[in-house]
Structure 1
């Protein structure tokens, strides 16, 4: 199998990987002409792809989870068993292409670095396959996960703590309504603490109210079509 036939077959296999999954959140984004969705990580479906993503050159410097199979399985099991954190696979048009963690900030180490409220949520992210880099997907994906956290919880703010070296990630968070609060020291990095307040999200960057349908568009993603996507924690 060669050429366009091979490409078509690869795309078909990738799409099937997302078929039949139960989505926790879904929205149609007309600016990128894609359906954005998040599904909780299923280790049976996702183990191999996640291990490959964490071993990618653009991910390794920020996540440091390029591990042997047994060690990676133990780390993934630990994340899945952590009751303050939920790992998600992010999908575009039902194709898995990103990894996300949504967590209760007050129960995380970051909650020790600021005056965390009990309902605060936080997010970590990475774009997996290199072919999804550089197409402006990071901003609509991040806006969708942020809106998801506000719609699914009573959080007044969502926090992030990108590595201070990761200027691209910081710019993406800023374009999604996250405001810098200052540098903080975490066990694995020096980070920039950033907050997105609920009011700011829904005034400026959130998806429409009927985001769990495949209908309306994100009304603010137009300004971010050129966003880079080499983002990490």
Structure 2
């Protein structure tokens, strides 16, 4: 990271760098880095060091076994404002196949190689059967999607299955989104209700007054009777 006389630092950045240099030992470290006298250290030099450290931390955060990072783009140094319209993100090579792909700090999955065993990505689950469910807990209804283990967890938490539809993963996911959009005005504030832990953040919860018919969003028979085998 190399800045020169053409670099114009805004007032906020200069103020941030001055606060940084007031921390014990920081000015001395900068002076040793640039081999100058302590009193000669400038805000520009502090910005260069902070930018390099930020990029190193960003690369470490994206590092994953089996991947080699080749480029990262950040807008808004040194604080790394990740504006999607300005930053191209981080790109890496998948060592196994040599494909260059954009990755995030989540566990990367190669778009060329087969999904790894136990993968929870939509790509890995594409075509697999899934349930769209509606369960009740006291005066609350929770809709969502998942496998038999997900439904079983709700049952063990004291919920009752109201409706249970089965379909391909991709269709069930789309149906869940449609249910949420149709009933977004009825979603409850989770801070005001006591919910079982299986309801998570409570983002797909309504009261029993809501009229939710899963069959309006996903075709197929209701198989809620099979839920008894999940318990």
TM-score tier (shorter): under 0.3
Pick 1 or 2: higher relative contact order, CA cutoff 8 A, min separation 6: 1
- The normalised TM-score by structure 2 is 0.21
- Specify the structure having the higher radius of gyration (Cα): 2
Identify, as 1 or 2, the structure richer in strand: 1
- The normalised TM-score by structure 1 is 0.21
